[in-house]
Structure 1
Amino acid sequence: MFFLSKLLGQEVKDSRSQFVGTLSDIVVSLERKYPAATKFQVKQGRKKLLYNWDLVRSFEESQTILRLPGEELDAVEPVKGEVFLAGDILDKQIVDTEGHKLIRVNDLQLARANGSLRVVGVDISGGAIMRRLGLAKLAQKLSRRVQPSLIDWKTVEPVSSGTTGMKLKLTHDKLALLHPADIADIANELPPDDRVAVVEALEDEVAADTVEEMHPDFQATLLTDMDERKAAALLSEMDPDDAADLLADLPEEKAAALLASMRRKEARDVKSLLQYEEDTAGGIMTTEYVAFPPGLTAGEAIDLLRRLEPDAETIYYLYVVDDDGHLVGAFSLRDLILAWRDNKVSDFMETHLISVRDDASLEEVAQVVAKYNLLAVPVIDENNVMKGIITVDDAIDITLPLTWKKRLPKIFG
Structure 2
Amino acid sequence: MTDSHKKHITISEGATSFTKDYLGLPVIDRDGVKIGKVADLAVMMGEEFPWVSSVAVLVKIRVSLLGTAKFEAIIPWKAVNTVDDDRIVLKIAYSEIKPGKLEKGELLFKRHVMDQQIVDNDGRRLLLVNDVKLRAAGEALVLVGVEVGIKGLLYRLGAGRRLERVARMMNVKIMENIIMWDLVEQFDDQMKLIKLSISQEMLKDLMNL
Task: Determine the structure 1 residue equivalent to 2:79.
Answer: 55
Equivalent residue in structure 1 for 2:166, among 139, 142, 146: 142
Question: How does the TM-score come out when normalised to structure 1?
Answer: 0.37
In 2: Cα distance, 1:54 partner to 1:106 partner: 27
Q: Percent identity?
A: 25
Secondary structure of the equivalent of 1:148? Answer: coil
Q: How many residues align?
A: 170
In 2: Cα distance, 1:160 partner to 1:6 partner: 23
Identify which of structures 1 and 2 has the higher relative contact order when contacts are C-alpha pairs closer than 8 Å and 6+ apart.
Answer: 2
The answer on whether the counterparts of 2:28 and 2:36 sit within 8 Å (CA) in structure 1 is yes
Q: Deviation string for 1:150-190 (max 9, x for gaps)?
A: 11111124222179xxxxxx9x9x76x67xxx7xxxxxxxx
In 1: Cα distance, 2:91 partner to 2:84 partner: 15
Q: Deviation string for 1:323-349 (max 9, x for gaps)?
A: xxxxxxxxxxxxxxxxxxxxxxxxxxx
Q: Which has the higher strand share?
A: 2
Stretches of structure 1 lacking an aligned partner (at least 5 in a row): 164-169, 183-413
The answer on whether the counterparts of 1:16 and 1:69 sit within 8 Å (CA) in structure 2 is yes
Structure 1 residues 146 and 62: alpha-carbon distance in aligned structure 2, compared to 1, 3 A threshold? same
Question: How does the TM-score come out when normalised to structure 2?
Answer: 0.70
User: Where does 1:359-370 land on structure 2 (aligned, <5 Å)?
Assistant: none
The answer on whether the counterparts of 1:136 and 1:145 sit within 8 Å (CA) in structure 2 is no
For 1:138, the aligned partner's letter is R
In 1: Cα distance, 2:88 partner to 2:123 partner: 36
The answer on whether the counterparts of 1:94 and 1:159 sit within 8 Å (CA) in structure 2 is no
In 2: Cα distance, 1:126 partner to 1:69 partner: 40
Task: Determine the structure 1 residue equivalent to 2:179.
Answer: 151
Q: Which has the higher helix share?
A: 1
In 1: Cα distance, 2:173 partner to 2:155 partner: 10
Task: Determine the structure 1 residue equivalent to 2:34.
Answer: 19
Stretches of structure 2 lacking an aligned partner (at least 5 in a row): 1-15, 61-69, 200-209
Secondary structure of the equivalent of 1:142? Answer: helix
Structure 1 residues 67 and 162: alpha-carbon distance in aligned structure 2, compared to 1, 3 A threshold? farther
Task: Determine the structure 2 residue equivalent to 1:41.
Answer: 56
User: Where does 1:196-215 land on structure 2 (aligned, <5 Å)?
Assistant: none
The answer as to 2:20 corresponding to 1:10 is no
Q: Hey, which bits of structure 1, 4+ residues long, moved more than 4 A? A: 96-101
Q: Shift of residue 145 of structure 1?
A: 5.5
In 2: Cα distance, 1:126 partner to 1:82 partner: 28
Larger radius of gyration: 1
The answer on whether the counterparts of 1:56 and 1:67 sit within 8 Å (CA) in structure 2 is yes
Provide the aligned C-alpha RMSD in A.
2.8
The answer as to 2:111 corresponding to 1:87 is yes
